[in-house]
Each structure stands twice: as C-alpha cells, then as structure tokens.
Amino acid sequence: MQIFIDGEFYDEAEAKISVFDHGLLYGDGVFEGIRVYDGRIFECDAHIDRLYDSALAIALDVPMSRADLIEATCETVRRNQLENAYIRLVVTRGVGDLGLNPSKCPKATVFIIAATIQLYPEELYQNGLKIVTCSTRRNDPQAINPAIKSLNYLNNILASLELRGTGADEGLMLSAQGFVAECTADNFFMVKDGVVHTPATGVGALRGVTRATVMRLARELGYQVAEGFYTLYDVYSADEAFLTGTAAEVAPVVSVDQRPIGDGTPGEITVRLMERLAEYARSSGYPVAKS
C-alpha cells in the first residue's frame, strides 16, 4: 500500500507521522472519508468543500490548494491500483510541542490513505439493521459542533461502546434536549406516510455528503423530503427507517430499541433509494485516471 504524506509517497510500513503531531496528541485536525466507484470519486467537490469548511472552522490552514489536494487524492488511488476504494483524507494541525497552543504548530500535516472498506455485512443490507438508542448524548453544537468533521470522535466512540453485548448493529444518538441527532457512524432517516424525514443539522447531525445526495435523489424520485426536530416517538411510529454514510451507503433499519419499524423488513422507499444511490454512484463522479 502506498500512502501520501506531505507531498511524498511511502510504503505502509514506512508511513509515519511525529508523536508530537497535534492530531495525535489532541485530536486537532479534520478529515474526510470518500468513496471511489468504478474509478470515479463520489461527490468529490462536496467532500473537498466540507474539508476546507471544517478546517476554516478550527482556524486550520490546509497547506495545499484544492486542485493539488484532489490530484494527490487521485494519485493515491492510482498508485494503489484501486477501481473501488475508500479514501481517508486527513489534515492535522501538525507537529508542535506538548502544550495545547495550536500556534506552536507551524505547518499542518496532510496524509491520504486509499484502501477498501465494508462497514456492514451484506446480509444486513438484505435483512436490515437492528439499532438501539445510546445514553451518550451527541455533542452540543455550542461546545463541539458536530458539523466540524474533526479527528476527535470520542463522543461517537463512547456511544459505540454501549453496543457491546447488545446484539445491536448501530446506536442512535440523541441531542442533550432529547431530539434524534444521528447514529454513531451514520446519518439517520425515517419515512412516514410517504415523506422522507431526517434530523436537522442544527440538532447535532453531521452535514453528511451521502445524506445530501440521498435527499436530492429522493426529491428527484418524487418524494417529499423534510428536515426537522424529532423524538423517539417519531422513530418508533415510522413506516421505514434507514442510515446513510460514505461507508454505509444506504442501509435499512428494521428495529429500534426492540420495536419493529413498519413490518420489520426493509421498506419499499428505502430499497428504492438503495438502488438509486448505487446507480448514481456508478454513473457519476470525478475520474481518477489522468485525462
């Protein structure tokens, strides 16, 4: 495996960053998880836009232009000879001292990994996921805004730890006010009376790239799409539910807190959106190959 670090490529065993990098010491940095389908980067512009927006929010200067960053991402995929891949694009605050002050880090670190990923086994896409509500609440936007896709994922990890021994496939996180926010690794959707609903980003949901794509595709298919503030009552009484994410794509949910959603099988609209996203992903995107 070839990994990009600050303008150079290294074999996996030789790819290293400093133990004084503030991304490691403090989770000070931002990242994107990006998919490649049939040699094309899925929603490339949206991912790069979000990376720069997240960096701007934490006053982190990305030391590469957009064009150079996209080319480095493509070259990482090319060097690893991947037609279908999962890319992890990371920008850290860079090397500093053991103090917290980010101004002690003169230059950010950029590294890019291109590999493969499968978040859920295939049978869960056919039969649906069973999820439970976590007691860990989603970060408050007034503290650590979940809109920033930062390297600090401890909030999500603490929620994910609650799944141990439960038999659940994912965990649903609520805001401090008790509204549905998102899952530990994915955005959350539900369908009621033919309307596709998803929590508003203001409640603590990440502005997911796949989330936005699915919302657009649903509207193109003729479905009404709504963003709002929802409680567990809305979830339990939904006709369908599903998750979206770069790694998860569209994954059906058939049970929440041991309550069946709809008839307990993947819903009709969910399945249609799964198929439509797959079609869209294979027929669009930024080409990895040099023109």
Q: What's the pLDDT tens digit per position in 49-63?
A: 999 999 999 999 999
Arithmetic mean of pLDDT over the chain: 96
Shared-domain flag, residues 102 and 136? no
Assess whether 217 and 157 both reside in one domain.
yes
List the domain range (segments joined by +) for residue 86.
Answer: 2-115
Model confidence pLDDT, tens digit, residues 134-185: 999 999 988 889 999 999 999 999 999 999 999 999 999 999 999 999 999 9
Is residue 31 included in any domain, yes or no?
yes
Distance of alpha carbon 274 from alpha carbon 244, whole angstroms: 10
Query: Is the pLDDT confidence value at 48 over 90?
Result: yes
Q: Catalytic one among 16, 104, 149, 192?
A: 149
Token digits for 30?
């931002």
CATH of the domain at 208: 3.20.10.10
Q: Write phi, then psi, for 282 (nearest 5 degrees).
A: -85, -10
Residues 38 and 143 in one domain: no
14, two tokens: 């030789």
pLDDT at 49: 97
When divided into structural domains, the chain yields a total of 2
Residue 291 lies in a domain: no
Which pLDDT belongs to residue 118?
77
Closest CA to 246 of 72, 134, 89: 89
Q: Are residue 33 and residue 144 in the same domain, yes or no?
A: no
Q: What is the pLDDT of residue 291?
A: 66
In this prediction, residue 119 has a pLDDT band, given cuts at 50, 70 and 90, of: confident
Query: Does residue 289 lie within any of the structural domains?
Result: no
* pLDDT for residue 208 is more than 90: yes
Q: Do 140 and 277 share a domain, yes or no?
A: yes
* 149 catalytic per annotation: yes
